[in-house]
């Protein structure tokens, strides 16, 4: 497939149940887990470091996922990890960061190098997560730069799993 591209000696490893829209490009040292989905017009570029997307995660339309190379400015570089059951909203930039399990990254947000979004956190639409910031799970984070707003309600916590489940169902309908 033209949209699944090797780079140097790295070929993307995509689980057979994952869905990659034909208009998205996945390049290089990338692993995408079971039942995950990458929607239209996304770039998942693992050319200078690795990208791992876990199981049942969805990367929605227009997202950019990239990494940082090893240099004197970033010793060792930064990979990108997206955990299991993560919802990444439309037009999000994830750059060389870690998003743990059961998170939601709201539309248009930017998450930068070395930052960690801990399991069970929600990042509100349009937020900026600065480099090396750690966002505690169980809270809503919002703003530019992002700030902790409040604890998530039980309904919001349940929605994190619901969202991931609905995107598995939707990718199955598209793949069918």
pLDDT exceeds 90 at position 30? yes
Place of tokens 């709201």: 106
Please tell me which residue, 176 or 130, carries the higher pLDDT value.
130
176: confidence class by pLDDT, cuts 50, 70, 90: confident
- Of the candidate CATH numbers 1.10.3720.10, 3.20.20.60, 2.160.10.10, 2.60.120.10, the domain formed by 4-170 belongs to 2.160.10.10
Residue 1 pLDDT: 62
With a cut of 70, say whether residue 41 has pLDDT above it.
yes
Check if the beta carbon of residue 159 is closer than 8 Å to that of residue 100.
no
Question: Looking at residue 55, what DSSP letter applies?
Answer: S
Q: Which two tokens stand for residue 92?
A: 């999000």
The number of CA neighbours under 13 Å toward the Cβ of 46 is 24
* H helix and E strand count, the chain: 1, 20
Average of per-residue pLDDT across 65-82: 96
Interatomic CA distance for residues 107 and 87, integer angstroms: 10
What pairs with residue 71 in β-bridges? Answer: 74
The pLDDT assigned to 175 comes to 84
162 phi/psi in degrees, rounded to 5: -55, -45
Is 103 exposed, middle or buried (CB count within 10 Å of its CB: 0-12, 13-18, 19+)? Answer: buried
The answer to pTM > 0.95 is yes
């Amino acid at each position: 497939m033209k949209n699944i591209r090797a780079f140097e000696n790295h070929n993307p490893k995509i689980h057979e149940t994952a869905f990659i829209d034909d208009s998205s490009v996945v390049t290089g040292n990338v692993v995408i887990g079971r039942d995950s989905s990458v929607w239209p017009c996304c770039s998942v570029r693992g050319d200078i470091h690795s990208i791992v997307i876990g199981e049942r995660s969805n990367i929605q339309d227009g997202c950019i996922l990239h990494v940082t190379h090893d240099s004197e400015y970033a010793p060792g570089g930064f990979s990108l990890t997206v955990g299991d059951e993560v919802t990444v909203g439309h037009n999000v930039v994830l750059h060389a960061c870690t998003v743990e399990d059961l998170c939601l990254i709201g539309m248009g947000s930017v998450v930068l190098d070395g930052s960690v979004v801990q399991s069970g956190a929600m990042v509100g639409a349009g937020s900026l997560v600065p480099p090396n910031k750690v966002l505690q799970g169980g809270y809503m984070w919002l703003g530019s730069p992002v700030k902790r707003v409040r604890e998530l309600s039980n309904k919001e916590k349940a929605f994190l799993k619901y969202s991931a489940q609905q995107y598995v169902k939707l990718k199955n309908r598209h793949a069918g």
